[in-house]
Structure 1
Amino acid sequence: MSELSEEKRDDLDDDKFAFPKQRKEPLEDASHVRNAIARFNQVEDVTDDERDAAWKRIKAAARKFDVEVNEKSWREIGKD
């Protein structure tokens, strides 16, 4: 995964994160999108509405960076 320096991460607009209020899971490139999906269930203290909104942002970023997403909902993550 490409590394974001603390300075670059601090410079990102809130809308560049899956969880903008918490500034968790940046969506800067394909690698970050895959990481956001993998770590999605590890984000704490967020509501289901915030997760729904984050999932929409992740799916939009996945389309932008050509990342395949098999799950239709965040509730399917990790359920094989």
Structure 2
Amino acid sequence: MIELSTEDRNELAKNSFAFPEQRKEPLENASHVRNAVARFNQVKNVTDEERDAAWKRIEAAAKKFDVELTEKSWREVGK
């Protein structure tokens, strides 16, 4: 995975993250999208509505970076 430095991460716009309010799970490339899916259930203190919105952002990024998602919903992650 391509690592983001703290400085680079801080410079990303909020809409560059799956969870923009928490600035969690950047979606800057295919590797980040795969990582966001893998770590999805590790994000704490978010509502189901925030998870729904994050999943939509992940789906859009997956399409943009040609990442195949086997899950149809965030509720399937890790199952």
Asked if these proteins are the same fold (TM beyond 0.5), I'd say: yes
1:57 aligns with 2:51: no
Distance in 2 between residues matched to 1:37 and 1:77, nearest whole Å: 7
1:13 aligns with 2:9: no
Partner residue in 1 for 2:27? 27
Aligned-partner residue type, residue 15 of structure 2: D
Aligned-partner residue type, residue 11 of structure 2: D
Q: Sequence identity of aligned pairs in percent?
A: 75
Distance apart, 1:78 and its partner CA: 1.1
Aligned pair count reads 79
Distance in 1 between residues matched to 2:61 and 2:48, nearest whole Å: 20
Distance in 2 between residues matched to 1:64 and 1:12, nearest whole Å: 18
Partner residue in 2 for 1:37? 37
Aligned-partner residue type, residue 50 of structure 2: E
1:73 aligns with 2:73: yes
* Structure 1 segments unaligned to the other structure (5+ residues): none
Distance in 2 between residues matched to 1:64 and 1:54, nearest whole Å: 15
Cα deviation digits, residues 14-49 of structure 1 (max 9, x gap): 000000000000000000000000000000000000
* Structure 2 segments unaligned to the other structure (5+ residues): none
Name the SS for the 1:18 alignment partner: strand
Cα deviation digits, residues 44-78 of structure 1 (max 9, x gap): 00000000000000000000000000111000011
Segments ≥4 residues shifted beyond 4 Å: none
Distance in 2 between residues matched to 1:4 and 1:25, nearest whole Å: 11
